[in-house]
Amino acid sequence: MKCPFCGSNNTKVVDTRHDQQGNVRRRRECTDCDQRFSTVERAILTNPLVVKRDGRREEFEPEKLMSGLRIACSRRPISAEALERVVERVEYAIRQTGRTEVHSQLIGDIVIEELRKLDEVAYIRYCIVYMGLKDLESIRAEIDQIRAQRH
């Protein structure tokens, strides 16, 4: 494995773990620059097509999902690893459907549930875009719903 910091091929595995989705997560260390980094190994599967609201179809891109999550979680105390786990769980959930095409609404619903558990502010930010909350009343109603669930 090539070091992403210095480009050296001299890396060693420090720790190996298996996650719930069957992926292998390895913690690696470069023997040249002593930097550590993580890699994830998983079976190469074809990504399902995402059916958009307007009927267009495009391949599911985990990077695109991660980008949206980073925006929703910006300036929140959420680690990059936590976001990676969300993306992995979403990927796993859509693969479990066994379908070659998945509606974008299903993906959004899964993301919403993951964010609700992770961070309430990020959840609201994502809801504003995903659910089309266009005014303060609809945003307030969603916040009130979160508060009611807490108690």
Residue 43's contacts (CB-CB under 8 Å, 6 or more residues apart) are 22
Q: What is the pLDDT of residues 77-112, one digit of tens each?
A: 999 999 999 999 999 999 889 899 999 999 999 999
What is the pLDDT, as a whole number, of residue 44?
67
Would you tell me how many other CB atoms lie within 10 Å of the CB of residue 2? 11
pTM of the model: 0.66
Residue located via tokens 């550590």: 36
The one-letter code for the residue type at 85 is R
- C-alpha 71, offset from chain centre: 12
Under 8 Å CB-to-CB from 97, ≥6 apart: which residues? Answer: 48, 106
Tell me the Ramachandran region of residue 127: left when phi exceeds 0, alpha when psi lies from -120 to 50, beta otherwise. alpha
* Exposure on the CB side of residue 118, measured as CA atoms within 13 A: 28
d(CA 132, CA 129): 5
Q: How far apart are CA 130 and CA 126, in angstroms?
A: 6
pLDDT of amino acid 46: 75
Q: What is the mean pLDDT of residues 7-18?
A: 95
pLDDT digits (tens, 9 = 90+) for 14-64: 999 998 777 899 999 999 999 999 999 877 667 899 999 899 999 999 999
In whole angstroms, what is the distance from residue 115 CA to residue 112 CA?
A: 5
Distances, alpha carbon 21 to alpha carbons 35, 87, 88, 112, in Å = 27, 11, 8, 19
pLDDT above 80: residue 150: no
